[in-house]
Structure 1
Amino acid sequence: MKHFEVLGTGCKKCINTAETIERVARELGQPVEVVKITDPAKIMEYQVMSTPAVALDGKVVHSGSIPDRDTIAGWINP
């Protein structure tokens, strides 16, 4: 199971990012875990300067915007 962390302050874009990852995973029939990280100190541990950001299995794979469906699908089914 893939473990995603959505890093951000809880803004609308961050919420949409988490929901989009969950929706794409359902469409693909793949189980994923999506955790929202809003603690600024934890976000800084990832050295993220622009949110929303996405970490996959502990590694930042995207930051600064909501990733598109094809990008998310690629993370779920590489």
Structure 2
Amino acid sequence: MAKVQVLGTGCAKCGYLLKNAQVAANERQAGDVVEKLDDMLQVHEFNPSALPALAIDGKVVTVGTLPSPSEIRQLIEQSQEVEE
């Protein structure tokens, strides 16, 4: 199970990234949690170089891009492999 966080300001790109993250989590059927962080104080704690950003288990994995659901699924799976 992974914690996937979409970091952004609430713009259209952030919404698109959130949808893709939710699709990726649903496809994995591993109980992944997806949440949107748009409180800039919380976002700043991650120190992303651009927005929107995607964090998995507290680590920023993409910035300023809009990965597809399959790309996000791969990122989640890679982060899970590192933890094992």
- When normalised by structure 1's length, the TM-score is 0.85
* AA aligned opposite 2:53: A
Work out the number of aligned pairs and report it.
Answer: 78
Structure 2 alignment gaps of length 5 or more:
79-84
RMSD of aligned C-alpha atoms?
1.4
Point out where structure 1 has 5 or more consecutive residues left out of the alignment: none
Higher share of residues assigned helix: 2
Give me the TM-score of the superposition, normalised by structure 2.
0.80
More strand by share: 1
Runs of 4+ displaced beyond 6 Å = none
Residues in 2 aligned to 1:53 and 1:22: alpha-carbon distance in whole angstroms: 15
Deviation track 1:6-62 (CA, whole Å, cap 9, x = no partner) reads 000011111111111111222233321111111111111111131110111001011
| Aligned-pair identity (%) | 35
User: Counterpart of 1:61 in structure 2: which amino acid?
Assistant: V
